[in-house]
Amino acid sequence: MLATFKVDKTRQTVDVSKPIDISIPLEASEHNPLAWYLDLPKIEPVKMDDWTGKVSEGASVNFNNIYFNPHAHGTHTECVGHITSKFISINEQLKEFFFTAELITVLPETIGEDQLISKLKIESALGDNRPEALIIRTLPNDTTKKSRKYSNTNWPYLHHEAATFIREIGVKHLLIDLPSVDKEKDDGKLLAHRAFWNYPKAPRMDATITEFIYVPNSVKDDSYMLNLQIASFNNDATPSKPILYKFISSL
């Protein structure tokens, strides 16, 4: 099935029967990735008196409770409410779900004990492209990212000058394959979050950050149509399922 979108002054077509899912599914097992010092998520049947919500144990349906943290347990999308004292819901701020996107791959620079994604790296990878959404895949890139335990690893992070540049060129939606755009332990400064959302000077209420994605090596750096799917949680962040579609023609 084909769908056509207006991109700038042209109309471009994608095949919606060929989605590229760059989310990491949540599961209650050791295969689930972890960050922020939390234990694994739990998915377990409801138990009431002598009844267990599990068909294999005699129930007519499977009826599970799920305990998880969107920031720590997998792919999630967050709004500026992640860093504000006032409650702001991602479900209320994100009202559109299709965006032009550019996928870039970067190798973080080693500076002392840190690995930084610099403004220069982003500028070089983007060239003249100015998409609505930017997807950052970091190197090295392998499937262990889908089950990695990130706590106390000092993962690579986005320099705040790079985040400022991304904001200034008009990117509204930033996606990255790390637990956070910021340094794991930064004394609560959250410099990249603040720079991208322009907080507190002039907060960008409709801008989002999606973290903990995984982009397979088979997906090439290029322009895509992004469908940023979120669950309807009234929270600063929600589990999400970003889907890419390759452009196949221009009219």
Instruction: Assess if residue 181 is contained within a domain.
Output: yes
pLDDT of residue 89: 98
Instruction: Assess if residue 44 is contained within a domain.
Output: no
Instruction: Assess if residue 40 is contained within a domain.
Output: no
Instruction: Assess if residue 55 is contained within a domain.
Output: no
Instruction: Assess if residue 105 is contained within a domain.
Output: yes
The 3-state secondary structure of the chain reads CEEEEEECCEEEEEECCCCEECCCCCCCCCCCCECCCCCCCEEEECEECCEECCHHHCCCCCCEEEECCCCCCCCEEECHHHHCCCCCCHHHHCCCCEEEEEEEEECCEEECCEEEECHHHHHHHHCCCCCCEEEEEECCCCHHHHCCECCCCCCCEECHHHHHHHHHCCCCEEEECCCCCCCCCCCCCCHHHHHHHCCCCCCCCCCEEEECCCCCCCCCCCEEEEEEEECCCCCCEEEEEEEEEEEEEEC
Query: CATH number, domain at 16?
Result: 3.50.30.50
pLDDT of residue 105: 98
Which residue has tokens 């965006």? 99
pLDDT of residue 195: 98
- Which residues form the domain of 139? 2-28+70-250
pLDDT of residue 249: 64
Domain count, the chain: 1
- For each of the chain's 251 residues, which pLDDT tens digit applies? 888 887 877 788 999 999 999 999 999 999 999 999 999 999 999 999 999 999 999 999 999 999 999 999 999 999 999 999 999 999 999 999 999 999 999 999 999 999 999 999 999 999 999 999 999 999 999 999 999 999 999 999 999 999 999 999 999 999 999 999 999 999 999 999 999 999 999 999 999 999 999 999 999 999 999 999 999 999 999 999 999 999 986 54
pTM of the full structure? 0.96
pLDDT of residue 247: 93
Instruction: Assess if residue 43 is contained within a domain.
Output: no
Instruction: Assess if residue 41 is contained within a domain.
Output: no
Instruction: Assess if residue 194 is contained within a domain.
Output: yes
